[in-house]
Amino acid sequence: MEKYKSDNFIFYKAEQKNIQDGMYHRIRGVYEEQYQSDYHGLFVGQVATLFGSENTTSNNEDLISCAVAAESTDGDIIYLEVYYGPSGPAIGGQDGEIYSKAAEELEMIIRNTVPMDFETTSAYGDLGVSIKMGTRNGVGFYETVMDENLFAMLEKMYCNNEGE
């Protein structure tokens, strides 16, 4: 099992059962200052590099979820969730200073990870599009593929009503 050390914690992959529904919420967004979708792909590639890709889905609003143990220098262990959900790339946990500090340090490890080549395709049901994202040669990408029929319908709805 790979372990990643920061100033105050050692991080490693944990079992998903350690992050229980309802107990965890978003405590830190990752790449929030970046407005380009390519950073979403970069995040997914970095997380897959660190903790594996077996917890990916085809649902864009629940694309990846990884339970991560954060062991403090005092020996206390807390659990964080690294995920890509409706609000984008994030780290979840419980309230409290130790969770906030661990999430901050884990974010730095994620940001400094050179990602493997990784690609995943998901569906964004609200818009009827497929999204392909990940990393190629260390660079994030995010590509949207719209169904031709949907494009034609939208074009008809919004572009052919000019004379009305």
The predicted model scores a pTM of: 0.82
| pLDDT surpassing 60 at residue 10 | yes
| Model confidence band, residue 125 (pLDDT cutoffs 50, 70, 90) | low
The dihedral built from the CA positions of residue 34, 39, 43 and 44, taken in this order, carries a sign that is positive
On whether the CB atoms of residues 126 and 109 are closer than 8 A, the answer is no
Q: Average pLDDT of 18-40?
A: 82
**Residue written as token pair 């997914």:** 44
Greater pLDDT, 12 or 22: 12
| Model confidence band, residue 20 (pLDDT cutoffs 50, 70, 90) | confident
Of 89, 83, 78, 84, nearest to 11 (Cα)?
78
pLDDT digits (tens, 9 = 90+) for 68-107: 999 999 999 999 999 988 888 999 999 999 999 999 999 9
**129 - beta bridge partners?**
124, 146
